[in-house]
């Protein structure tokens, strides 16, 4: 049927544009993909799930243009016999179509989709199953090409629509206090998210929102001025500082005279009186020195210290702005702000005129949006602060600082760390666990584990010490990241140092095994890069290769929900799939008697190389160093 000008209603116009947009997208995708296959675009890896999803989406939208809002669902298949990806949309489509046309069965819908699916270089075949499932099988040529590109160009990220400026609020311990396991979680998770974002090309600013301001510092300085005469030239060493801190709190609560002196010190600090500022700076430096030790062990670089004190000068203007916007309300002398829908208000100005943690977070949010021009802000903070943070975000949005539909400002919460008794993590005597002691213990246990395995007899002292650190710190990070972050997690050295199961040690061994296989041959990385696509004949090779090629899909998934345990699960499955392959397939064949290498399967060696590269990149994102020898 020909359409005349009269037929062009605005709705139809919209449909036509939408359709041509889709066609354009498909063409664009295919073009990018062909470039990729030709090896001309070496910067990205395709997300195969995304490719398959858009293949189905385009066909379905073209066949059923009135189903505008229909979301096409494609998932990796749960069983090999169902192919590699499954599209189950025919059922839902058949339901949705019922509203406007005579009934068509899901099977008929599925048949129509399959019939209209264009041939594509990455699809081997498409099958219809049961009442209307569509199973898609990937082409071996495609996967094999992807494997060879990994070996040639390295592991590349998926293409993202827009590279953004991203602020990550992470770690954020408190000055003069011990950095505890909660801060450790924030540090580990924050670092991993930062690396994930950097991998795909975002511009990341990691901010350490240190607790370095407030009444407690007035108390501490008042106490020091009486008990530690040198307080204007040096800070007490960190251990003493923490003790002075505790003592100052106790004195503040029980001694009226001291309380007055403490308040005077607070006023002096707030007015930047030179001596008080000097003492405060010394205290901050001493604490930072301690935090730096932890960051160094955990390979945390470029973390910018920007604590609460930084935002103090910016707060009066924020208060004024909120006041002008009529967002503040008087409540028993306090000025409070009710974020839309909140159960608890933010306290913006206290009855004594002082400002609070809420105020500094409001000022920080505005600064990050306006000065830093952040296009995304993530707060990696324990879940206990959800109400506070969401209140701040909602109030900021209400003040018009950002549009939540355009800028992602999100609390990335996490659960608490529990001891093996499933209670809050404490030492035997009931004290909070000192982070440094914990790391020491980890090193000791990792060292013992290596000695038990007789590694001290094969490795040089230097290698052994490197392995010990990689194992200890890697295990602590991996144990944290491999659990769903919003759950509480039980800290257990025994579990995390186990070389069976989903642990860093297991993955390190898998990685090293692959490395030692390559060391048996004289082939160089260049030789492997130039070898070209592997044949993937054996079913276990084929299975392993397909799993390797899911890396970009997993990265995309992590970018959406920031659940790094999905990456850990993927790597673990990669390692177990590798073991399955290695048990069934010779890579390097040795003479049983002489041990001499008699045959090398270079295709398989190429596959091994791709696996090793993906594990290494996955580990890098998790903040873990792979070791070549252990």
Ligand X SMILES: NC(=[NH2+])NCCC[C@H](N)C(=O)O
- Residues in contact with ligand X by the rule CB under 6 A: 169, 172-174, 209, 211, 361, 364, 379, 381
Least gap, CB of 215 to ligand X (angstroms): 15
Least gap, CB of 382 to ligand X (angstroms): 7
Q: Which is nearer to ligand X, 166 or 381 (CB)?
A: 381
* Separation of alpha carbons 178 and 161, rounded Å: 41
Least gap, CB of 180 to ligand X (angstroms): 8
Candidates 546, 478, 547, 553; CA nearest to 509 is 478
Least gap, CB of 372 to ligand X (angstroms): 13
DSSP state of 355: B
**Chain length of the chain:** 630
Q: Which is nearer to ligand X, 168 or 450 (CB)?
A: 168
Q: Rounded to the nearest 5°, which phi and psi values hold at 42?
A: -105, 10
Least gap, CB of 436 to ligand X (angstroms): 17
Q: Of all helices (H) and strands (E), which one includes residue 223?
A: helix 215-227
Candidates 360, 365, 377; CA nearest to 205 is 377
CB-CB contact of 269 with 280 (8 Å): yes
Least gap, CB of 189 to ligand X (angstroms): 13
Q: Which is nearer to ligand X, 356 or 576 (CB)?
A: 356
* Separation of alpha carbons 262 and 250, rounded Å: 12
| SS3 state at 527 | helix
For 186, how many CA atoms within 13 A lie in the half-sphere containing its CB? 29
Q: Which is nearer to ligand X, 83 or 211 (CB)?
A: 211
Q: Which is nearer to ligand X, 93 or 364 (CB)?
A: 364
CB-CB contact of 192 with 621 (8 Å): yes
Q: How far is CA 284 from CA 152, 182, 200, 466, in A?
A: 48, 20, 35, 31
Q: Of all helices (H) and strands (E), which one includes residue 589?
A: strand 588-590
Task: For residue 403, give every residue at least 6 positions away whose Cβ sits within 8 Å of its Cβ, in sequence order, or none.
Answer: 397
Q: Which is nearer to ligand X, 379 or 425 (CB)?
A: 379
Least gap, CB of 211 to ligand X (angstroms): 4
Helices then strands, each counted (H, E), the chain: 23, 16
Q: Which is nearer to ligand X, 149 or 380 (CB)?
A: 380
Q: Which is nearer to ligand X, 292 or 451 (CB)?
A: 292
Q: Which is nearer to ligand X, 41 or 216 (CB)?
A: 216
Least gap, CB of 321 to ligand X (angstroms): 19
**Cα dihedral sign for 465, 470, 471, 475?**
positive
Q: Rounded to the nearest 5°, which phi and psi values hold at 57?
A: -60, -45
Q: Which is nearer to ligand X, 183 or 604 (CB)?
A: 183
The residues pairing with 411 across neighbouring beta strands, listed in sequence order, are 379
Measured in whole angstroms, the distance separating CA 261 from the mean position of its chain's CA atoms is: 46
Least gap, CB of 203 to ligand X (angstroms): 20
Written as six digits, the tokens of 609 are: 């190389």
Written as six digits, the tokens of 175 are: 């000055």
* Strand locations in 105-260 (E): 123-129, 133-138, 165-169, 203-208
CB-CB contact of 15 with 65 (8 Å): yes
Least gap, CB of 43 to ligand X (angstroms): 34
Written as six digits, the tokens of 21 are: 């947009």
Least gap, CB of 173 to ligand X (angstroms): 6
Least gap, CB of 183 to ligand X (angstroms): 6
Task: For residue 177, give every residue at least 6 positions away whose Cβ sits within 8 Å of its Cβ, in sequence order, or none.
Answer: 211, 242, 245, 287
Least gap, CB of 627 to ligand X (angstroms): 33
Q: Which is nearer to ligand X, 361 or 609 (CB)?
A: 361
Q: Which is nearer to ligand X, 395 or 567 (CB)?
A: 395
The residues pairing with 87 across neighbouring beta strands, listed in sequence order, are 74, 134
Q: Which is nearer to ligand X, 61 or 306 (CB)?
A: 306
The residues pairing with 358 across neighbouring beta strands, listed in sequence order, are none
Least gap, CB of 240 to ligand X (angstroms): 21
Long-range contacts of 458-466 (CB under 8 A, 24+ apart): 459/629, 459/630, 463/629, 466/627
* Separation of alpha carbons 550 and 568, rounded Å: 13
Q: Which is nearer to ligand X, 157 or 211 (CB)?
A: 211
* Separation of alpha carbons 149 and 69, rounded Å: 37
CB-CB contact of 520 with 621 (8 Å): no
């Amino acid at each position: 049927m020909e359409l005349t000008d009269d037929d062009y209603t605005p709705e139809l116009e919209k449909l036509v544009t939408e359709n041509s947009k889709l066609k354009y997208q498909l063409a664009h995708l295919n073009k990018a993909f062909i470039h990729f296959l030709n090896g001309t675009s070496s910067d990205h890896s395709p997300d195969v799930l995304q490719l398959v999803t858009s293949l189905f989406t385009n066909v379905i939208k073209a066949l059923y243009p009135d189903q505008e809002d229909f979301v096409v669902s494609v998932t990796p298949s749960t069983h090999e016999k169902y192919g590699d990806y499954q599209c189950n949309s025919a059922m839902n489509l058949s339901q949705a179509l019922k509203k406007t046309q005579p009934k068509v069965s899901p099977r008929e819908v599925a048949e129509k989709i399959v019939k209209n699916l264009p041939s594509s270089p990455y699809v081997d075949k498409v099958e219809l199953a049961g009442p209307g499932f569509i199973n898609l099988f990937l082409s071996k040529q495609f996967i094999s090409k992807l494997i060879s590109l990994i070996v040639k160009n390295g592991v590349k990220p998926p293409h993202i629509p827009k590279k953004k400026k991203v602020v990550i609020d992470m770690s954020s311990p408190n000055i003069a206090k011990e950095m505890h396991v909660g801060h450790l979680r924030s540090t580990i998770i924050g670092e991993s998210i930062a690396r994930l974002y950097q991998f795909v090309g975002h511009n990341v600013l990691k901010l350490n929102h240190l607790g370095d301001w407030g009444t407690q510092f007035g108390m501490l300085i008042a106490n020091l001025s009486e008990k530690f005469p040198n307080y204007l030239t040096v800070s007490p060493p960190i251990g003493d500082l923490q003790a002075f801190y505790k003592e100052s709190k106790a004195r503040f609560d029980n001694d009226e005279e001291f309380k007055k002196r403490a308040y005077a010190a607070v006023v002096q600090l707030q007015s930047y009186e030179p001596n008080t500022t000097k003492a405060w700076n010394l205290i901050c430096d001493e604490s930072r020195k301690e935090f730096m030790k932890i960051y160094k062990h955990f390979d945390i670089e470029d973390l910018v210290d920007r604590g609460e004190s930084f935002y103090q000068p910016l707060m009066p203007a924020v208060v004024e702005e909120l006041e002008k916007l009529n967002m503040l309300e008087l409540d028993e002398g306090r000025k409070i702000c009710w974020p839309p829908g909140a159960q608890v208000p933010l306290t913006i100005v206290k009855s004594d005129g002082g400002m609070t943690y809420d105020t500094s977070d409001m000022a920080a949010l505005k600064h990050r949006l306006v000065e830093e021009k952040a296009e995304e802000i993530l707060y990696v903070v324990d879940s206990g602060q959800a109400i506070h943070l969401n209140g701040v975000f909602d109030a900021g949005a209400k003040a018009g600082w950002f549009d939540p539909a355009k800028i992602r400002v999100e609390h990335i919460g996490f659960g608490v760390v529990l001891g093996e008794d499933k209670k809050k993590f404490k030492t035997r005597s009931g004290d909070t666990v000192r982070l440094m002691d914990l790391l020491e213990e980890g090193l000791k246990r990792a060292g013992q584990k290596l000695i038990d395995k007789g590694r001290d007899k094969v490795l040089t002292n230097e290698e052994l010490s490197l392995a010990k650190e990689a194992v200890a710190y890697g295990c602590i990070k991996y144990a944290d990241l491999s659990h769903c972050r919003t759950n509480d997690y039980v800290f257990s050295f025994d579990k995390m140092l186990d070389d069976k199961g989903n642990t860093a040690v297991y993955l390190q061994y898998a990685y090293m095994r692959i490395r030692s296989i390559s060391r048996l041959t004289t082939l160089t990385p260049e030789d492997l890069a130039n070898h070209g696509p592997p044949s993937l004949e054996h079913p276990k090779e084929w299975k392993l290769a397909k799993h390797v090629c899911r890396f970009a899909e997993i990265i995309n998934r992590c970018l959406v929900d920031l659940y790094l345990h999905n990456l850990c699960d993927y790597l673990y499955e990669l390692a177990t799939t590798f073991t399955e392959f290695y048990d069934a397939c010779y890579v390097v064949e040795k003479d049983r008697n002489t041990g001499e290498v008699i045959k090398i399967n270079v295709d398989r060696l190429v596959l091994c190389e791709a696996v090793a590269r993906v594990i290494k990149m996955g580990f890098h994102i998790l903040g873990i160093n792979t070791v070549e020898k252990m």
